[in-house]
Amino acid sequence: MARVLVVDDDRGMREVLEIMLTREGYQVASAPGGREALSICRKNKFDVVITDLKMPRVDGIDVLKGIKEMSPETMVILVTAYASGETAVAAMQEGAYDYLEKNFDIEELKLTVRDALRRKGVDQGRDLPFNEALDGAVSFGNMVAKSKEMLKVFALIRKVANTRANVLILGESGTGKELVARAIHENSDRKKKPFVAINCGGIPETLLESELFGYVKGAFTGAYADRPGLFEVANGGVIFLDEIGELPVILQVKLLRAVQEKTFRRVGGSEDIRVDVRIISATNQDLFQRVKEGAFREDLYYRLNVIPIPMPPLRKRKEDIPILVRYFTEKYSRQFGKEIGKISSYALELLMEYQFPGNVRELENIIERSVALETSNIILPENLVIAGNEKTDVVRAFDLELPDEGINLDAEMASIERRLIEKALQKARGTKTKAAQLLNMTRDALNYRIEKLDIREP
């Protein structure tokens, strides 16, 4: 039974959380303040601690620091009525698992606690694989990270979520710009309203206007009835304009009116339609440079870029790679019905050295393919298909550092052996006699190893 400690100087809040968590099947204790909480934690270990932030004498940050010193594996969730981006950053940098405002939905808290326990491994009765990568990691929306750059992004999302300001998300392809847009929506008071996404570069210019603003019957050939556009579909919620830099200049004028006045006209229509829509845009281009070149309207740029959120490329936050590897390995192991619990140290080293021009999307694709191809319970280097990775030679393999947690020597050696045999077969164009000569062994010995290692011949 998972053990949960509730810390709050508000007796009513403590009792509500105690009742709710007990009904969920947890063993629950409570403390009326930070000092009492730390005293309890010196004598008892808890899987999760839910603590108020603003408390007299010893506040939630002090409780977080104290608990992490005594029990680094304990997952701490901070709750406060005084949310601020700066405090969120401080909490996450100190190792908080998550950070909720006091007007949270009960179901949201239940899910947060369950996810914290799952990440800790309590629900499986064991530590989850790659736990060494999870120290200080934060799960937010559908993102997970521990780098300061991403923690700042998470904090900024919380800070701007409930404002009405337009947001422009900036970053290379594959950095997760749409995930940020969805996280803003899901943490806002519009979360029960529509989230409508459109790729401005993925729709022909002739169709884009009618997709955004709709059309009236008879506006053009094939317009047999009135059709609402995505701005109307998103009314009350959020419209996400991805690749906004690709928007044709002629449509930028119409979008500017919709942004400024919240009104527009359908294609072929004469009636103004008013909507309440928050606009979140994203681009992988230097939009200000596009303004200077005359390819993007300056007035529209400033209307969209009220709150910029820059997304760092994966190569500049490499400490997140082991966490993302774990996250994607678990995800695709479940999807493919496999039980892959680890990545070999050599395979992880290859990923840590790679520059990832395609960012997180490329890493996810690599892990998905690796899990699909893997026949053992560990991801081995030969199943990592990395662009331009032709330097995994044997000298480099034997040059590895031995990690503190050790390695599976048999698996690592089998991986090196398999790789060399595959290379020899490729060089020999499938001729086993020649491949055996390259490896200084007999043809029979080569056949035995091919069968033993389940190597597919070219």
Predicted confidence (pLDDT) at residue 16 exceeds the cutoff of 60: yes
Residues 133-145 as b/e (b if ≥16 CB within 10 A, e otherwise) read bbebbbbbbebbb
Predicted confidence (pLDDT) at residue 99 exceeds the cutoff of 50: yes
What pLDDT, on a 0 to 100 scale, did the predictor assign at position 434? 82
Average pLDDT over residues 369-394: 70
Instruction: Please tell me the pTM assigned to this model.
Output: 0.59
pLDDT tens string 386-406: 765 444 443 344 445 566 667
Helices (H), 273-431: 287-292, 298-304, 321-336, 345-353, 359-373, 394-398, 409-427
Predicted confidence (pLDDT) at residue 272 exceeds the cutoff of 50: yes
Higher pLDDT, 329 or 442: 329
Please report which confidence band the pLDDT of residue 155 belongs to, taking 50, 70 and 90 as the band edges. Answer: confident
Q: Provide the percentage of residues in the chain whose pLDDT is more than 70.
A: 87
Q: Which residue in this structure is represented by tokens 């009314």?
A: 235
CA distance 314 to 279: 26
| Encoded tokens for 52 | 């108020």
Average pLDDT over residues 45-53: 91
Give the CA count within 13 Å in the CB-facing half-sphere of 398.
3
Average pLDDT over residues 92-105: 72
Provide the β-strand partners of residue 50: 6, 77
Predicted confidence (pLDDT) at residue 299 exceeds the cutoff of 60: yes
pLDDT tens string 407-441: 677 777 777 788 888 888 877 777 888 888 888 77
Predicted confidence (pLDDT) at residue 148 exceeds the cutoff of 90: no
Cα separations in angstroms, 326 against 252, 367, 379, 439 = 42, 9, 11, 35
Predicted confidence (pLDDT) at residue 134 exceeds the cutoff of 60: no
| Encoded tokens for 14 | 């403590």
Provide the β-strand partners of residue 49: 5, 76
What pLDDT, on a 0 to 100 scale, did the predictor assign at position 387? 61
Phi, psi of 131 (to 5 degrees): -60, -30
Domains in the chain, please, with CATH?
A: 3-128 (3.40.50.2300), 160-311 (3.40.50.300), 315-452 (1.10.8.60)
Predicted confidence (pLDDT) at residue 130 exceeds the cutoff of 80: no
What pLDDT, on a 0 to 100 scale, did the predictor assign at position 201? 84
Cα separations in angstroms, 201 against 170, 204, 298, 415 = 16, 8, 19, 43
SS3 content of the chain, % helix, strand, coil (to 5): 50, 15, 35
pLDDT tens string 240-252: 999 999 999 889 9
Average pLDDT over residues 366-392: 75
Please report which confidence band the pLDDT of residue 455 belongs to, taking 50, 70 and 90 as the band edges. Answer: confident
The CA-based dihedral angle spanning residues 152, 313, 368, 327, taken in that order and rounded to the nearest 10 degrees: -20
What pLDDT, on a 0 to 100 scale, did the predictor assign at position 138? 74
Mean pLDDT, the chain, whole residue set:
83
What pLDDT, on a 0 to 100 scale, did the predictor assign at position 390? 43
Please report which confidence band the pLDDT of residue 128 belongs to, taking 50, 70 and 90 as the band edges. Answer: very low
pLDDT tens string 193-212: 999 999 988 888 778 888 89
Predicted confidence (pLDDT) at residue 305 exceeds the cutoff of 90: yes
| Encoded tokens for 228 | 């609402």
Please report which confidence band the pLDDT of residue 458 belongs to, taking 50, 70 and 90 as the band edges. Answer: low
What pLDDT, on a 0 to 100 scale, did the predictor assign at position 123? 43
What pLDDT, on a 0 to 100 scale, did the predictor assign at position 117? 82
Average pLDDT over residues 83-100: 65
What pLDDT, on a 0 to 100 scale, did the predictor assign at position 12? 87
Predicted confidence (pLDDT) at residue 124 exceeds the cutoff of 50: no
